[in-house]
Amino acid sequence: MKTETIPVEHQMQIHSSKQQSENHNVRPILPKVALPEIVFITSYPPRECGIATYSQDLVKSIKDKFVDTFTISICALEEGNANFQYPDEVLYTLNTNDSEGFENLAKELNSNDQIQLVMIQHEFGFFHGESESDLLKFMYTLTKPIVIVFHTVLPTPSNKVRINVQRIAAISKSIVVMTNHSAKILYKDYNVPKSKITVIEHGTHLVPHLSKDALKNKYKLKGKKVLSTFGLMSSGKGIETTLLALPEIIKLNPDVIFLAIGKTHPGVIQSEGEQYRNSLEQKVRDLQLSEHVKFINSYLPLQQLLEYLQLTDIYLFTSKDPEQAVSGTFSYAMSCACPIVSTPIPHAKEVLRADTGIIIDFQSDSQLAHAVNYLLQNEVLRKEFSSNTLQRIVPTNWQNAAISYGRLIQKTVGTEIIPKTDPTFHSDEGIVEIPSRTIIDLKFNIPKINLDHIKKLTTEFGMIQFSKINKPDIESGYTLDDNARALLAMGMHYKSTRSVLDLAYLEIYLGFIKFCFQEDSTFLNYVDKNHHFTSQNKEINLSDATGRAIWALGYIKSLHKILPEKLIETVDEIILKALPLILNMHSPRAMAFSIKGLYYFNQNLKSPEITNIIQVLADRLVQMYRHESGPAWNWFESYLTYANSILPEALLCAWIDTKKIEYKIIAKQSFAFLLNLIFEKDFIKVISNNGWLHKGQKPNLHGEQPLDVAYTILALDKFYKVFEEQEYLDKLKMAFSWFHGKNHLDKIIYNPCTGGCFDGLEENYVNLNQGAESTVSYLMARLTIKNYVGT
């Protein structure tokens, strides 16, 4: 469904339930072009509580993830005499002590045709006493689809609780919980149908993982072993358990300090003041721990909180509540790679494993002391825990949570019949099926270009090959492959931005290629961290790496009008010396890479010699195609492997240079064959690197590489520019969305926080390492789509 952003003048007309008037239940009808509206009913900042923070993070992530899809408005839950100054997205408020307020809100939401769904964040503390029945009446009255998000699911419930939850579940169209444990309780203890339940784990922040030592210096904790916990303070946090354990910990680790981060919970302040905090401070004095304990009595800004967690050596979670279903503080600590010692709440038992943390009994200071001492005395184990923790928790990032909620909203809202007057209406004669479309059309937003990880991977010598998560692994050394791709991508970036900062990187990558170019006019590929060529160069065929180098060099040559003359002279020198080597190529991808490079090299040169070499290589590809192709197999080999799209694209480039019509015909035939294999409905699934695809066999569906998606995007771009067929552009945009979550796992492959790209999409997980190949591949794809989206 085509939609447009609501114009500012119409936004100004949106009614706020906070404005009291006689016409409280009347809301102006928004223009037909307005986006569907989703209403979140939840506590919301500046109210200080965990669910308020959760909802703000969730709403922000959904807004960041999708564009021109729907609007989100907030109904902020209040109680008592609250007088908060809310942000603009809060259009409604509901005092849960006011029965009439529930009724008025239902009427207001029902009267607004733009509202397509209402999502309620449920916590028993929000709705108790009379407000429990008020909530049920509100839900029965509401005519909009309801999604309920249970933050707590009580096991072995009382009859009253069970009936109340069953009623809420019956009215709701969809139910969200954050752990599999909670889902199991819902359908076993409450008889809620499994089909209604969706598990969406508590979102976590993507963090850059800054230097622990640098952060300790920043916060005046140099030389300290840091233990921490955070959250709104109450007696349920069990912080006294840590204080009782500290004397034993200090015996072995005299440099330890414990940070208790967070204000006292507003509800606790209201009922008992600072009694609990005062008791903790007294215990610190009694145990003579003043040099080892620091209370940070404030609600820290997110960035500062994440920095405290990143400098933490061990995170302590000592909740005393065995029925606490989920903890946001626990999730945030994991996202910052903290090794964790935790009491056995359901959330901890589900996500902590033997290689990520240690679970102790409730209120056991002796077990806590033993676990902390064990980890503090074993730095290697702590680092292993940190790495494993990230592998476990990064998939729960807010970007992925937003995709999961977006899919759920889309599914819950459902479809609508397309009226015959609509320009998109189409019905074939004789077909009974009524044309329909999804009401919510998810459109993925495109993050800004971020070169941080590209620069982090680059030394003065070249681009490092691999990363462990987002930390470059110098032990992996360097390759010609990666530096050729980096030269190409940075050339594309310079062409787009003319940033003088790019020139230094272009010189580095070109310098590395020159380093790999040997006196006998051949290239070597593998270089170790000490800048020595490795034995791999004698064991592995280097023709593809050579072809990539020619492609990159040729592209840089095509930018000769905007690049320094010295760079172009180096390019000319290498390519002209390498021409005999290129003529002797027979590997299909090496030839294809080289054709592309020579095509760019010859754009302004118009050299008959270069055109002749292009034709020699293209004829070899044609010969391979004639040998292998058949009625159901329009391809150059009896199998498809990696970088497949480079072959038809190379023939298209050869046609542009030589005007030999056969190249164009085979380019279109082979590309159509490939596209038919790798596009499914509305997303791309490239050829798996797990066994590839052989003629006559079924494809292995899992094992997708960013490089293959990026090369497909480059080829689609070339075919669209040449033939101006809309299908190519549609597929290009579809393929690019793969990086941002439009894939079989609904997971992001590009990390907008670091600017890195994850190394692969497998059957059930994403490879979270952010190496050179994947990161540069994403940049090439991002710069390609920039031509069509303008940013």
Residue pair 557/571 in contact by the 8 Å Cβ criterion: yes
Name the residue among 710, 772, 776, 689 with its Cα closest to residue 479.
Answer: 772
Residue 724 has pLDDT above 90, yes or no: yes
Q: For residues 170-179, give the mean pLDDT.
A: 96
Question: Exposed/middle/buried for 417, CB within 10 Å: 0-12, 13-18, 19+?
Answer: exposed
Name the residue among 627, 641, 733, 625 with its Cα closest to residue 679.
Answer: 733
Task: Map residue 320 onto helix, strand or coil.
Answer: coil
pLDDT tens by residue, 697-707? 887 778 999 99
Residue 636: pLDDT band (50, 70, 90) is very high
Nearest-angstrom CA–CA distance, 240 and 337: 25
* Residues across the chain: 791
For residue 30, the model assigns a pLDDT of: 41
pLDDT tens by residue, 72-105? 999 999 987 878 999 999 999 999 999 999 999 9
Which residues have a Cβ under 8 Å from the Cβ of 118 and sit 6 or more positions away?
38, 39, 41, 109, 142, 144, 145, 146, 147
- ∠ CA(268), CA(273), CA(275), 5° rounding? 95
pLDDT tens by residue, 538-564? 999 999 999 999 999 999 999 999 999
Task: Map residue 677 onto helix, strand or coil.
Answer: helix
Residue 131: pLDDT band (50, 70, 90) is confident
Residue 573 has pLDDT above 70, yes or no: yes
pLDDT tens by residue, 57-71? 999 999 999 999 999
pTM, rounded to two decimals? 0.89
Q: For residues 767-777, give the mean pLDDT.
A: 97
For residue 354, the model assigns a pLDDT of: 83
**Is the CA virtual torsion 179, 185, 186, 188 positive or negative?**
positive
- Average model confidence (pLDDT) across the chain: 92
Whether the bond into 45 is cis, omega within 30 of 0 = no
For residue 176, the model assigns a pLDDT of: 98
For residue 700, the model assigns a pLDDT of: 78
Amino acid present at 189: D
Residue 323: pLDDT band (50, 70, 90) is confident
* Sheet containing strand 146-150, strands side by side: 90-95, 71-78, 37-42, 115-122, 146-150, 174-177, 197-199
Q: Quote the tokens at residue 604.
A: 């302004």
Amino acid present at 780: M
Q: Quote the tokens at residue 557.
A: 């040559």
Strand 256-261 vs strand 225-230: parallel, antiparallel, or unpaired?
Answer: parallel
Residue 426: pLDDT band (50, 70, 90) is low
Amino acid present at 213: D
Nearest-angstrom CA–CA distance, 772 and 782: 15
Helices and strands (H, E) in the chain, number of each type: 29, 26
Q: For residues 723-737, give the mean pLDDT.
A: 97
Q: Quote the tokens at residue 145.
A: 């689809």
Does residue 51 or residue 324 have the better pLDDT? 51
Nearest-angstrom CA–CA distance, 710 and 760: 12
Nearest-angstrom CA–CA distance, 121 and 94: 13
How far apart, in Å, are the Cα atoms of 88 and each of 6, 7, 581? 15, 16, 64
Maximal C-alpha separation, the chain: 90
How far apart, in Å, are the Cα atoms of 534 and each of 464, 524, 530, 537? 15, 9, 10, 6
Q: For residues 206-225, give the mean pLDDT.
A: 95
For residue 415, the model assigns a pLDDT of: 76
For residue 603, the model assigns a pLDDT of: 95
Nearest-angstrom CA–CA distance, 753 and 765: 19
- Enumerate the β-bridge partners of residue 386: none
Nearest-angstrom CA–CA distance, 397 and 518: 46
For residue 431, the model assigns a pLDDT of: 46
Residue pair 11/30 in contact by the 8 Å Cβ criterion: no
Q: Quote the tokens at residue 135.
A: 């909530």
- Residue 670's CB is within 10 A of a number of other CB atoms, namely 23
Does residue 716 or residue 424 have the better pLDDT? 716
For residue 756, the model assigns a pLDDT of: 98
Nearest-angstrom CA–CA distance, 570 and 220: 50
pLDDT tens by residue, 447-495? 999 999 999 999 999 999 999 999 999 999 999 999 999 999 999 999 9
- Residue 291's CB is within 10 A of a number of other CB atoms, namely 11
Residue 433: pLDDT band (50, 70, 90) is low
Q: Quote the tokens at residue 282.
A: 């007294």
Residue 430 has pLDDT above 60, yes or no: no
- Residue 232's CB is within 10 A of a number of other CB atoms, namely 19
Rg (CA), the chain: 30
Among the residue ranges 69-78, 433-442, 466-475, 751-760, the one predicted with the least confidence is 433-442
Task: Map residue 63 onto helix, strand or coil.
Answer: helix
Q: Tell me, rounded to whole angstroms, the distance of Cα 188 from its chain centroid.
A: 33
For residue 9, the model assigns a pLDDT of: 28
Task: Map residue 764 onto helix, strand or coil.
Answer: coil
pLDDT tens by residue, 8-58? 223 333 333 333 333 333 334 444 458 999 999 999 999 988 899 999 999
Residue 409 has pLDDT above 70, yes or no: yes
Nearest-angstrom CA–CA distance, 594 and 572: 14
Token pair 């189409």 is found at: 426
Q: For residues 357-377, give the mean pLDDT.
A: 96
Residue 435: pLDDT band (50, 70, 90) is low
Residue 312 has pLDDT above 50, yes or no: yes
Task: Map residue 576 onto helix, strand or coil.
Answer: helix
Q: Quote the tokens at residue 494.
A: 């310079």
Residue pair 230/305 in contact by the 8 Å Cβ criterion: yes
Among the residue ranges 10-14, 575-579, 715-719, the one predicted with the least confidence is 10-14
- Residue 128's CB is within 10 A of a number of other CB atoms, namely 12
Nearest-angstrom CA–CA distance, 643 and 593: 10
Residue 682: pLDDT band (50, 70, 90) is confident
Residue 296 has pLDDT above 50, yes or no: yes
Task: Map residue 167 onto helix, strand or coil.
Answer: helix
**Is the CA virtual torsion 404, 408, 409, 415 positive or negative?**
positive
For residue 33, the model assigns a pLDDT of: 58
Residue 436: pLDDT band (50, 70, 90) is low
The kind and range of the H/E element at 71 are: strand 71-78
Residue pair 351/326 in contact by the 8 Å Cβ criterion: no
Name the residue among 296, 336, 299, 333 with its Cα closest to residue 316.
Answer: 333
How far apart, in Å, are the Cα atoms of 219 and each of 213, 585, 635? 10, 58, 60
